[in-house]
Amino acid sequence: MSSSDRRTEAIFREHGGVLRTSTAISFGIHPRSLYRLRDQGLIEQISRGVYRWSGLPPLSQPDLVAVSTRVPIGVICTISALAFHEITTQIPHQVHIALPRGSAKPRIHHPPVQIYRFSKRSFSAGIVSHSIDGSIIRIYSAGKTVADCFKFRNRIGIDVAVEGLRLCLEHGLATPAQIEESARICRVERVMGPYLEAML
């Protein structure tokens, strides 16, 4: 491996092993170098414009890492967040991601994404950051996720939202007070209230 390739590897490793093309270029890595390293098998393309150093352990959440890298403003939400917190029996076939209203729609062909638009207050509430496979992923807390699922119950199903609420309480991932606060922010306290009362 050349000294240039070793420098490129060091840059990748310093950033959790994953880089967007634009970020790599900003660090002085030429696009031709990325394509050459890809063709040699030293890096892999996990999404359009997103590369990962191949010598690292396999990703545990490759779709979340790819989408979070492609759309850094986004926040993992609804069913994808339920699955991350292990409070659903659903298997997400898309990455569910929240964006502020009015923001541009990201162009992602793989992995498939489901976009939800949030008001400014609802978008910014309950965001927590997790380190997954060396990358920082923005995702909603369990309590906020449950409230979001009730807000979008017509899209994902009320049964999914109710199951998420029940498992969130059973696993102790949020207190009733925290869930009620999230419900107020999402303006679903009247919808969630009877379900929450029945479970306490």
pLDDT of amino acid 1: 67
**Confidence band, pLDDT 50/70/90 cuts, at residue 135:** confident
pTM of the model: 0.75
Mean pLDDT of 71-82: 94
Q: Give yes or no for a contact between 173 and 85, defined as CB atoms under 8 angstroms apart.
A: yes
pLDDT (mean) for 102-115: 83
Give yes or no for residue 154 having a pLDDT over 70: yes
Average pLDDT, the chain: 88
Q: Which two tokens stand for residue 117?
A: 């638009």
Which of 194 and 8 is assigned the larger pLDDT?
194
* End-to-end alpha carbon distance in the chain: 61
Tokens of 86: 């292990």
Range scoring the smallest mean pLDDT among 67-71, 86-90, 121-125, 192-196: 67-71
d(CA 133, CA 2): 26
CB 150 within 8 A of CB 161: yes
Residue 109 pLDDT exceeds 80: no
C-alpha span between 98 and 71 (Å, rounded):
10
Instruction: Say whether pLDDT at 159 is over 70.
Output: yes
Is a pLDDT exceeding 80 seen at residue 10? yes
Tokens of 9: 């590897």
Helix, strand or coil for residue 132? strand
